[in-house]
Structure 1
Amino acid sequence: MADLAYVPVLALARLRETGMAAVSVGGRRVLLVHVDGDVRAYDNRCPHRAWPLERGTLDGCVLTCANHRWTFDVATGRGLDPGDRDLVAVPCRVDEDGTVAVGVEA
């Protein structure tokens, strides 16, 4: 497994609860979601047709892709409808100073 370097990308205060934000880190577009007091990160591409997930809608933990209306549980990354494609998780953490950082290969 490759070593990860965590790159600060956003102040947690700018990511409201049940909110999402797209950021660029290491040449990769990443979608951050803040649900149930936790921050998760995923590739900002729908696994169906690579549509930017930031254009979708988030209702609680359910993210709906704007292109073909596929839905995902952002708490787990699992596909809901259809259930055979999951989101690609990206390592992330919230540092002590309240900064969200995304892991990139060092």
Structure 2
Amino acid sequence: MLEEFYKVADVSDLREGKLYPVEVEGEPVCLVKLEGTIYAFTDNCTHISGPLNQGDFDGCVVTCPWHGARFDVRSGEVLRGPARQDLYTYPVKVEGETIFIGLPPEEE
């Protein structure tokens, strides 16, 4: 089963190291550009759904504004609790100036 890709932003919308929230098919997603590479991850903390786009971002680590859980945005890995579950990360494609992310197919 292949992902379906959706247009989410233009490359010019993102600034290096700044979190950029979008919604794709009802899913909150956060984009960030690091050293020219664009990463996409779920915008809800896996602890109790804190809005990660409102958290602190340093290097490649986002910190949830609610309880301080930390994640590596490149892999989604939990670096510090209280979250125990990694973030879901999305495949990203850039075609020209357009950013697309892949969503898993809907379960039938």
Instruction: Report the TM-score, using the length of structure 1 for normalisation.
Output: 0.87
2:30, 2:40 within 8 Å by CA — same for their partners in 1?
Answer: yes
CA deviation digits over 1:31-55, x for unaligned, max 9?
Answer: 1111122111111110001111111
Q: How many correspondences in the alignment?
A: 104
Which 5+ residue runs of structure 1 have no aligned equivalent?
none
- Aligned residues: CA RMSD: 1.7
Which 5+ residue runs of structure 2 have no aligned equivalent?
none
Give the equivalent residue in structure 1 for 2:11. Answer: 12
Q: How does 1:1-106 map to 2 (within 5 A)?
A: 1=1, 3-82=2-81, 84-95=84-95, 97-104=96-103, 105=105
Letter in 2 for 1:66: P
Distance 1:101 1:79 in 2: 25
Structure 1 runs (4+) deviating above 3 angstroms are none
Give 1:20 deviation, angstroms: 1.4
Give 1:4 deviation, angstroms: 2.4
